[in-house]
Structure 1
Amino acid sequence: MKVFVLGTGGWGIALAMLLHHNGHAVTSWTFFQEECDLLHRERANEKLLPGVRIPEGITVTTDMSGAAEADLVVMAVPSFAVASTAEQLSRIVPAGTVIVNVGKGLDSQHGYCRFSETIDRAMGGRNPVVALTGPTHAEEVARGVPTAIVAASASRAAAELTQAAFMNDTFFRVYTSSDLVGCELGGAFKNIIALGAGISDGLGLGDNSKAAFMTRGLTEIARLGVTLGAKQETFAGLSGVGDLIVTCCSMHSRNRRAGILIGQGKTAQEAMQEVGATVEGYYATEAGYRLAQQQGVSMPITEAMYEVLYNGLSAKEAIRMLLGRPRRGEHEEVWFH
């Protein structure tokens, strides 16, 4: 199979290596000539994936035209570049070619829509779109650490083609799902909770606090997701609780690292600058807050995170605000006497 991977960040490189390992002919595209030259020369990106060597069999280019010949196109570009890259791709890729998006977030330029919607609109509805999402760190996939992920799509054939391309029996397992809405929202909104879990760690709070934050955070993500058309059970799967666990508990997570710095007293802007890469949870918090307001869905943790990140509320005051909320049942049960 010919696979064209758009994006040579850590995740793009790791997936290109995985696809090459699986026997596919892989081309990786970057927008930047300097980055292309570096990868040709060094066959590595020590900043993003230290100690990982890129196989010679992976072609690196700045020419997107090769995507026209691909059986599968993988989009691994930053959130802010999804719309513009899809528009450029629409002039190259023929109808029917499956587009796999691996980014997690929402398109704030188009009313906080999901990336699959952004790509579908740019492609004129001519191409099946798959979201490949779940508990994955590029640093581990590039080294062949056992991993499980979900390929979600409205098209069963597209999801199964993606599954076949990425899955192997040594370290990478892929499940399929028809719940594109739930899988994308789980991947986007868990970053909000990961930032908050990092803040909890930065404040020096304990395991109890973090577990409560993660659990209640997932509850409100699922509440919004179901309102927007997702399935409740999706949030108990790899793209929900699975992705939440890995992002809240690992130092690979930029969201958690930024949260730790905020908990230690840095502003959101200072924390993101120190992390030195995109902190998707910052943008996801605004998206989640706005969507919850639009839909009339209660998301107290997201609201508290919005106040901390955008209005300067202290992390300690946000925790007091959350703990002081009115009493209620965990699942709002109906009691029978």
Structure 2
Amino acid sequence: MIQLNDNDRGIVLTYEASPSSIHFLDLEITTTHDRLEFKTYFKPTDRNGYIPVDSCHHRRWLESVPRSQFLRLRRNCTRDSDFYLQSDMLKTRFLDKGYRPSLVDDAINSVSATDRASLLQVKPKVAKQESFKWSFFTSYSIQHNEITPARTLRNFILQWLAVSTGSVQYFGEGTTIYVLENGEVQRPPTVNIFGPNKQEFKDHKLISLVCVASGFYPEHVQLNWIINGIPRNGLYQNVASKKENDTSFSTSKRLTLTRSEYFNTENKFKCEAGFIGNGSVAFAEVTGESDCGVSKESYAMYINQGKISYIMVLFKSGLYALIVLAIIWRRKVLSGSC
């Protein structure tokens, strides 16, 4: 050991040898009357490093810290006397960190009533039951251009995958098959159109309408914007359908308009929603508004006109001041010459 400690790295090794007790990890193990007894071992360098109660952690998490530490003592200590002795020491440390005395006492009383043998038992891991959803995809084939009846395809999928799925199945471009879960039926969406934020009228040259479809099942619904009977193409795709609850979904799509399009009472903006391949099943429609406010361009023009008027007033005031000074100076000159 002397040779090992003779190094220039500052490493000091120690060892212990005892026929009756030994320290192992956080345990002090003692032999008494041909049996082993345990209690928690605290190193000489151990300090009160428990987290203060006024830290920015979640309150419920902080309140569970004392109980978890007392459970550790209860599990480690063979003798009840050792548990109560070490609990008193631990209680002092928690009080120093600001924990409520009632909280610490309740934790001690609760843990004291716990059977130590139950804490030493290995709890079996319970496998979580997870539900899986399978998707079935194939390359396009002329043989699968039309699938009739749908029940035949469903039986084919169940035969090979042995699952029931609520996912949409694709057989090439343009062919969509839905396999509904047992007991579920197709439910149409509810469509609503939300107008623009009033701040857009001042800060932007473009105005947005948002179409929201909700309460539908299954999840694949397509939204389309139509202006005065003409579909508006080139828009962003639907926002991916989000699950509202266990049995319904929602999605949205934005329509961007110019000010001249939106502020026109003759324009009609229609949002249609429908399941892929089934056409429109629900819609909502709004009419353009009349422009009663001041546009951003007009507002800027008024500001510029105000600036010009202000500059002209300053110029006239300065010219008037010069004229007055000239008159005063002339009178002083004339009075001095007399």
What is the TM-score normalised by the length of structure 2? 0.20
Higher relative contact order (CA 8 A, sep 6+): 1
- Bigger radius of gyration among the two: 2
What is the TM-score normalised by the length of structure 1? 0.20
Hey, which of these two has a bigger chunk of helix by percent? 1
